[in-house]
Amino acid sequence: MKTIQYQLDDGIASITFDEPNSPVNTMCLQWQEDMSELVAQVLKDQDKIKGIILASAKSTFFAGADLKGAMRLKVTDASAIFAEIERVKKNFRTLETLGKPVVSCLNGTALGGGWEVALVGHHRIAIDDRKIQFGLPEVTLGLLPGASGVTKMTRHLGLMGAQPYLVEGKTFSPSEAKGLGLVHELVAPGDGAAAEMRAKAVAWIAANPKAQHPWEDKDYKVPGGTPSNPKVAMMLVVAPAMIKKQTRGLYPAPEAIMACMVEGLQVDLPTALRIESRYLAKLMTGSVARAMINTFFFNLNAIKSGQSRPAGVARFKPAKVGLLGAGAMGAGIAYAQASKGIATVLKDVSQEKAEAGKAHSAKLTQARVDKGRMSADEQQKILGRIQATGNTSDLKDCDLIIEAVFENRELKARVTREAEPMLAGPDKGGGFFASNTSTLPISGLAKASAAPEKFIGIHFFSPVDKMKLVEIIRGQQTSDETVARAFDYVQAIGKMPIVVNDSRGFFTSRVFGTFVMEGVAMLGEGIPAPAIENAGIQCGMPVGPLAVLDETTLSLSLHVMEQTRADYAAEGKNYVAVPGEALVARMVKEYQRPGRAGGAGFYEYPTEKGAKKYLWPQLKPLFEKPDARWNITDLKDRLLYRQAVETARCLSEGVLTSVHEANIGSIFGIGFPAWTGGALQFIYGMGIDAFVKRADQLAAAFGAGFALTDEVKATLQRYQPVY
Q: Report the catalytic residues.
A: 116, 138
**Does residue 57 contact residue 6 with C-beta atoms inside 8 Å?**
no
Chain centre distance of CA 48:
49
Q: Check: CB of residue 442 under 8 Å from CB of residue 478.
A: yes
Please tell me the distance from the alpha carbon of residue 157 to that of residue 182, in angstroms, as a whole number.
9
Instruction: Check whether 575 has a pLDDT greater than 90.
Output: no
Would you list the domain boundaries of the chain? 4-285, 320-503, 509-639
pLDDT tens-digit series, residues 120-134? 999 999 999 999 999
- Cα–Cα dist 73/335, whole Å: 44
Distances (CA, A) of 667 to 268, 544, 678: 41, 15, 6
Q: How many CA atoms lie within 13 A of 460 on its CB side?
A: 30
Looking at 13-27, 60-74, 211-225, 665-679, which range is the least confident one? Answer: 60-74
DSSP for residue 398:
B
Architecture of domain 509-639: Orthogonal Bundle (1.10)
Question: How much is the pLDDT for 504?
Answer: 87
The CA distance from 435 to 411, in Å, is 12
Q: How confident is the model at residue 354 (pLDDT cuts 50, 70, 90)?
A: very high
In Å, what is the CA distance from 304 to each residue of 65, 236, 325, 469, 679? 20, 39, 29, 12, 19
- For domain 320-503, the question of CATH label 3.40.50.300 is answered with no
What is d(CA 654, CA 500) in angstroms, rounded to the nearest whole number?
A: 8
H helices of 525-603, in order, are: 529-538, 545-552, 554-570, 581-585
pTM of the shown model: 0.91
Residue 577 has a pLDDT of 80
pLDDT band at 439, cuts 50/70/90?
confident
- Backbone dihedral region of 408: left (phi > 0), alpha (psi from -120 to 50 degrees) or beta? beta
Please, which pLDDT band fits residue 576 given cuts at 50, 70 and 90?
confident
Instruction: Decide: helix, strand or coil at residue 105.
Output: strand
What is the rounded average pLDDT of the residues 72-100? 96
Q: What is the DSSP letter of 107?
A: -
Residue 571 C-alpha from the chain's centroid: 40
pLDDT for 162 equals: 96
Cα(197)–Cα(125) distance, integer angstroms: 6
Distance CA 87, CA 66 (A): 16
Candidates 3.40.190.10, 3.90.226.10, 3.40.50.300, 1.25.40.10; correct CATH number of 4-285? 3.90.226.10
106 and 183 Cβ atoms separated by less than 8 Å: yes
> Lowest-pLDDT range, 225-239, 282-296, 410-424, 428-442?
225-239
**Is 653's pLDDT higher than 90?**
yes
Quote the CA–CA distance of 55 and 108 in Å, as a whole number.
10
Coil, strand or helix at 382: helix
Number of Cβ atoms within 10 Å of the Cβ of 427: 6
Give me the pLDDT at residue 488, please. Answer: 97
C-alpha count within 13 angstroms, C-beta hemisphere, residue 491: 17
Instruction: Over range 423-435, report the average pLDDT.
Output: 93
The mean pLDDT of 616-635, rounded to a whole number, is 96
Q: Is residue 434 within 8 Å of residue 401, measured between CB atoms?
A: yes
Band the pLDDT of 560: cuts 50, 70, 90: confident
Q: Which amino acid is at 484?
A: A
Mean pLDDT of the chain: 95
Continuous segment of H or E residues that includes residue 13: strand 12-17
Q: What are the residues whose beta carbons fall under 8 Å from the beta carbon of 657, sequence distance 6 or more?
A: 308, 499, 500, 501, 651
Q: CA 225 → CA 151, 262, 529, 629, distances in Å?
A: 15, 11, 47, 53
Beta bridge pairs of residue 323: 346, 402
Instruction: Give 604-668 as a DSSP string.
Output: E---STTPPPEE-TTHHHHH--TT----HHHHHHHHHHHHHHHHHHHHHHTS---HHHHHHHHHH
Residue 292, C-beta contacts closer than 8 angstroms, at least 6 positions apart:
140, 141, 142, 674, 675, 677
pLDDT score of 578 more than 90 = no
* Angstrom distance (rounded) from CA 634 to CA 628: 13
Rounded Cα distance, 339 and 652, in Å: 38
How far apart (Å, rounded) are the C-alpha atoms in residues 73 and 284? Answer: 7
53-68: pLDDT as tens digits: 999 999 999 998 888 8
Rg of the chain over Cα atoms, rounded to whole angstroms, equals: 28
CA atoms of 93 and 293, how far apart (whole Å): 28
Q: Which amino acid is at 100?
A: K
The C-alpha atoms of residue 107 and residue 695 are separated, in whole angstroms, by 51
Number of Cβ within 10 Å of residue 367's Cβ equals: 11
Number of H helices, E strands in the chain: 29, 20
Give the model confidence (pLDDT) of 660-706 as tens digits.
999 999 999 999 999 999 999 999 999 999 999 999 999 999 999 99
E strands, 107-252, in order: 110-111, 123-127, 134-135, 185-187
Q: Which of 582, 436, 440, 420 is nearest to 502 (CA)?
A: 440
Residues 288 and 675 sit within 8 Å (Cβ to Cβ): yes
Quote the distance between the C-alpha of residue 147 and its chain's center.
Answer: 25
Q: 463: cis peptide before it, omega within 30°?
A: yes
Tell me the three state secondary structure of residue 322.
strand
SS3 89: helix
Widest distance between CA atoms in the chain: 89
Residue 677 phi, psi dihedral angles, 5° rounding:
85, 5
Assign 236 a pLDDT band (cuts: 50, 70, 90). confident
Q: CA 705, CA 689: separation in Å to the nearest integer?
A: 18
Under DSSP, is residue 581 helix (H, G, I), strand (E, B) or coil? helix
